[in-house]
Structure 1
Amino acid sequence: MNVGYDKKNLYKKLLLSFIIACSLFVALIGYGAYWAFYDMNRLPTGEYLNQATSPDGKYTIKAYATSGGATTSYAVRGELVFNEKGDKTKNIYWNREETASIQWVGNDKVMINGHTLDVPKGKFDYRHQ
């Protein structure tokens, strides 16, 4: 029996297990930071400002203003409503400003305060700029 080979094999397995555990820990911390600070699904609701419906009626963009309190400025949240899918919603716009100007450029393209977005996949989030 080769004791040196078994010991070396054990060290390799321990090192691999340690690397995998550290990688999982770092990934968990990274996801937690994203979820806590950058996930658009966790944005505050805000007060209703206005809305605009796409020319073909498939989508509606609703704008809401949120107050960050004494420490941060106002922000506008743009919510995409899928009119044909039972009013399913998705946050697609988040920027530090107080008003919202919504203009549809086509059936699948909207301009919110000068930022053009392709609907339904496009989004704008000032935190990622």
Structure 2
Amino acid sequence: MIGLLIVGLIGYGVYWAFFDMNRLPTGEYLTEEISPDGKYTLKAYVINGGATTSYSVRGELVFNIKDKKTKNIYWNNREDTATISWMDNNTVEINGHTLDVKRDKFDFRNQ
């Protein structure tokens, strides 16, 4: 039982350190688009990884109605621009990736 607990803690530590989308760098503001019903705003930021890595784009969903809470729903490598278009009130397309904002996330590290 103790061994299973240790493996679980190590697994969570690796996830937290390398894959948790809440720990992404802030970046520089690119653009934003508001959903047709005004319930969400998707803001895009470009992150300069420095000399050893390429640019990345982070998409942050803002809940306009609920306390302006935010969550990261998009993270893609080798991009420095963002094209955002809302398909309907809950579906957005970011640089060719279609996401349902209620349940989907895109993270290039999981592809």
TM-score tier (shorter): over 0.9
- Residue-by-residue CA offset, 1:12-63 (whole Å, 9 max, x unaligned): xxxxxxxx11111111110000000000000000000000000000000000
**SS at the partner of 1:99?**
coil
Partner of 2:4: 23
Determine which of 68, 71, 85 is the counterpart of 1:103: 85
The runs of at least 4 aligned residues of structure 1 exceeding 4 Å deviation read: none
- After TM superposition, the score normalised by the length of structure 2 is 0.97
Gaps of 5+ in 2: none
How far apart in 2 are the matches of 1:84 and 1:90?
Answer: 14
Equivalent residue letter for 2:96: G
Partner of 1:58: 39
Determine which of 96, 106, 111 is the counterpart of 1:114: 96
Bigger Cα Rg:
1
Shift of 1:70: 1.2
Partner of 1:78: 59
RMSD: 0.6
| Structural mapping, 1:28-43, within 5 Å | 28-43=9-24
Gaps of 5+ in 1: 1-19
Equivalent residue letter for 2:63: F
Partner of 1:128: 110
Identical aligned residues as a percent: 69
Equivalences, count? 110
**SS at the partner of 2:87?**
strand
- Residue-by-residue CA offset, 1:79-104 (whole Å, 9 max, x unaligned): 00000012110000000111100000
Higher relative contact order (Cα pairs below 8 Å, separated by 6+ residues): 2
